[in-house]
Amino acid sequence: MEQAVSAPMCTRVLADFGARVIKIENPVGGDFARSYDDVVLGQAAHFVWANRGKESLTLNLKSAAGMEVLHRLLDSADAFVSNLAPGATARLGLSPADLKVLHPQVIPLEIDGYGPGGPMSHKRAYDLLVQAESGSCAATGHAGMPAKPGAAVADITTGLYSALSIMALLLGRARHGDTGPAPSVAVSLFDTMTDILGYQLTFTQHSGVDQIPLGMSSPAVAPYGSFATRDGQTVVLGTTNDREWQRLARDIIDRPDLADDPRFATNSDRCAHRDELNAAIGTWCAQHDLAYIQRTADRAGIGNSRYNLPSEVIAHPHLRARDRWREVDTPNGKIEALLPPPVISDFEMGMGAVPGLGEHTDALLHELGYSADDIATMRTDGAIGPTYP
């Protein structure tokens, strides 16, 4: 019972690895991410990205018949994933405590904004709200101009932690032959973001300093940032240790004086004088084309990359050369989607179809033992959505 991004990302990952995922949707509109936009053959980009490989079942959970169907599904389920508003599963009689009694084999996993037991537990939470609350926006952008990271980092990472939790518990059950009630899992966006901001929080906790965000750079290391090239491109160059700094100064920008200067001897020293180093590197980059800079940096063993727009990443030769795109079916036609990151020998990720709203309702109900007359009655009574076209 999922919507938006965090829980759909959890179950999409499980589906890619081979799980059967049944997505319970409201007959009226379904997952509200379906209507965010219509840019993918009339479908929403968020939805097609996060919902492949699932079966869509429309259920009106305010009806007794709809709830009966859900409980029949839970009789044979391994896990029940939800990211509804705080308290919603309890009001439906589907809280972890309820499932422990009614469906003890099911792992209940609830995703919420702030986790239970705190003064903010009752609040609704979306990716931007949690990124602001957790300090993520303060670590992004520029001084006085905070920014949300472009990706929905809170939603996506919470979904990944959730999928990992389910996989770990199922593996433990299989290895140890556990037959008792399944443990429940709660994963909050706030806890996820404070975890992945571990460096920033640890630094401030022990220094008392709130680091100033530096746009396309890092307050942790220097020199490290983006620089304009002679041919109008942007190159990103970075050093992560003293040896790399020496190679960059001597072998790339030909500034042995900077390499020998005691003011730049350590990373902390270089961070304190980053403006002077950035100016020297920027001057050198402005005199050379991107291709030359990257060849030179590669020869010197210095990390570098090109700043790309999303439209350029779609056509990225590295993705094409490594065959990272796959066709995925949607109700409105085929689209191309990127394979999930893990490359596992002798295993191809599922990359199943994106479901239409209620597309699998009748088939699932037949599978659960409902007759055609039963289904017609449920449809008339509003317990399920209309017949899928």
Number of domains in the chain: 2
179: confidence class by pLDDT, cuts 50, 70, 90: confident
Q: Is the pLDDT of residue 365 over 90?
A: yes
The 10 Å Cβ neighbour count of residue 156 is 18
Express each pLDDT in 120-129 by its tens digit.
Answer: 999 989 999 9
315 in helix, strand or coil? coil
Round the average pLDDT of the chain to a whole number and report it: 96
The pLDDT, as a whole number, for residue 2 is 97
177: left (phi > 0), else alpha (psi -120 to 50), else beta?
A: left
The pLDDT, as a whole number, for residue 34 is 97
88 in helix, strand or coil? helix
Q: What percent of the chain has pLDDT over 70?
A: 100
Dihedral over Cα of 261, 267, 270, 272: its sign = negative
The pLDDT, as a whole number, for residue 242 is 96
d(CA 142, CA 212): 7
Which domain range does residue 293 map to? 224-306
Same domain, 240 and 121: no
Q: What percent of the chain has pLDDT over 90?
A: 96
The pLDDT, as a whole number, for residue 299 is 96
- Nearest alpha-carbon partner for 20 in 355, 293, 370, 275: 355
Segment 261-282 shows an average pLDDT of: 96
210: confidence class by pLDDT, cuts 50, 70, 90: very high
Q: Is the pLDDT of residue 71 over 90?
A: yes
pTM: predicted TM-score of the whole model, two decimal places: 0.92
Express each pLDDT in 326-348 by its tens digit.
Answer: 999 999 999 999 999 999 999 99
The pLDDT, as a whole number, for residue 180 is 84
Cα three-residue angle 150-42-376, rounded to 5 degrees: 120
Same domain, 89 and 192: yes
Domain finish residue from 255, 279, 306: 306
d(CA 36, CA 5): 12
d(CA 24, CA 84): 12
Q: Is the pLDDT of residue 29 over 90?
A: yes
- State the DSSP H helix or E strand holding residue 206, giving kind and residue range, or none if neither: helix 198-207
- CATH number assigned to the domain comprising residue 233: 3.30.1540.10
Same domain, 327 and 284: no
- Nearest alpha-carbon partner for 188 in 139, 97, 100, 127: 127
- CATH number assigned to the domain comprising residue 359: 3.40.50.10540
- Burial (CB count <10 Å: 0-12, 13-18, 19+), residue 386: exposed
From first CA to last CA, the distance across the chain in angstroms is 23
132: confidence class by pLDDT, cuts 50, 70, 90: very high
Same domain, 51 and 139: yes
Same domain, 114 and 257: no
Same domain, 26 and 76: yes
Q: How far is CA 6 from CA 10, 55, 117, 165, in A?
A: 6, 18, 21, 14
244 located within any domain: yes
Express each pLDDT in 297-324 by its tens digit.
Answer: 999 999 999 999 999 999 999 999 999 9
Please answer whether residues 58 and 347 qualify as being in contact, where contact means their C-beta atoms are separated by less than 8 angstroms: no
**Which comes out higher in pLDDT, residue 124 or 290?**
290
- Nearest alpha-carbon partner for 288 in 235, 366, 352, 211: 235
314 located within any domain: no
Domain finish residue from 306, 340, 366: 306
Cα three-residue angle 5-147-230, rounded to 5 degrees: 110
Question: Which residues are within 8 A (CB) of 351 and not within 5 positions of it... i.e. 6 or more apart?
Answer: 16, 52, 53, 326, 328, 337, 339
208 located within any domain: no
Q: Is the pLDDT of residue 178 over 90?
A: no
